[in-house]
Amino acid sequence: MSSASLEFLRYRVLGIMSRMDALSGKNLQPLAEIPLALIRKNATRLHGACRFKKGVDKWRQDLSPLHVKEVALHPESLNDEWLRYAEFLMFHEFLHALGHGGHDQIFRNLEAQWPDKDAKQMGINFTRYLRQRNAKFAWTCPKCSWKTERSIKSGGRYLCRKCKVKLVDCAISTN
């Protein structure tokens, strides 16, 4: 499985952003200077982050890329199959860097201008994929063989919804 570099991704994302009408009044150049990083690989719900420098109030009026310490993405998002989502993630974090501290209406309107309309929705599957990747146990019904993959043991606390018998933990061999 091949994966793209963060710099390659930035090059593509800035290229797309520079052609977006909604951003035509913005100076995108400082985004090229922001340090890029990866978030911890066992994260499942955190996919990207715009981290501001120590002491920076992200609600300040003059928030700008100069206040950004780094933009970080989940390392798994750089794999080919998730690349469209990684582009959207970087775009999302760059919008924060451009002075939008939160997800207000202005932010959501800008975010909606991203040309790849399916990319945002890929986040749901990405979360599911990461959960499965972290799974260590398959909670299994001994009666009907229904199973669900989890990172922790069920420890006899859960019943099969259909059979009402306790689920048992089967170890998943990881490679």
CA distance 129 to 120: 15
> Residues 167, 114: contact at Cβ < 8 Å?
no
Q: Which of 46, 66, 112, 163 binds Zn ion (CB under 5 A)?
A: 163
Residue in this structure with the two tokens 């001994």, named with its chain if needed: 142
Per-residue burial over 134-166, b = 16 or more CB atoms within 10 Å of its CB, e = otherwise: ebebbbbbeeeeebebbeeebeeeeebeeeeeb
Q: Which of 22, 46, 112, 144 binds Zn ion (CB under 5 A)?
A: 144
Residue 167 touches Zn ion, criterion: CB under 5 A = no
Q: Which of 60, 108, 128, 143 binds Zn ion (CB under 5 A)?
A: 143
* Residue among 83, 86, 88 at smallest CA distance from 73: 86
Residue 160 touches Zn ion, criterion: CB under 5 A = yes
Residue nearer to Zn ion on the CB measure, 128 or 143: 143
How far, rounded to the nearest angstrom, does the alpha carbon of residue 74 sit from its chain's CA centroid? 6
Residue 68 touches Zn ion, criterion: CB under 5 A = no
Residue nearer to Zn ion on the CB measure, 108 or 162: 162
Residue 170 touches Zn ion, criterion: CB under 5 A = no
- Please count the residues of this chain forming the interface with Zn ion, following the rule CB under 5 A: 7
HSE value, Cβ hemisphere, 13 Å, CA-based, for 138: 11
Residue nearer to Zn ion on the CB measure, 80 or 116: 116
Choose the binding region for Zn ion from 3-11, 27-35, 82-90, 160-168 (rule: CB under 5 A).
160-168
Report the DSSP pairing between strands 137-140 and 68-73.
unpaired
Structural tokens at position 126 = 């990405």
Applying the rule CB under 5 A, the residues between 122 and 141 that interact with Zn ion are 141
Residues that bind Zn ion (CB under 5 A): 141, 143-144, 146, 160, 162-163
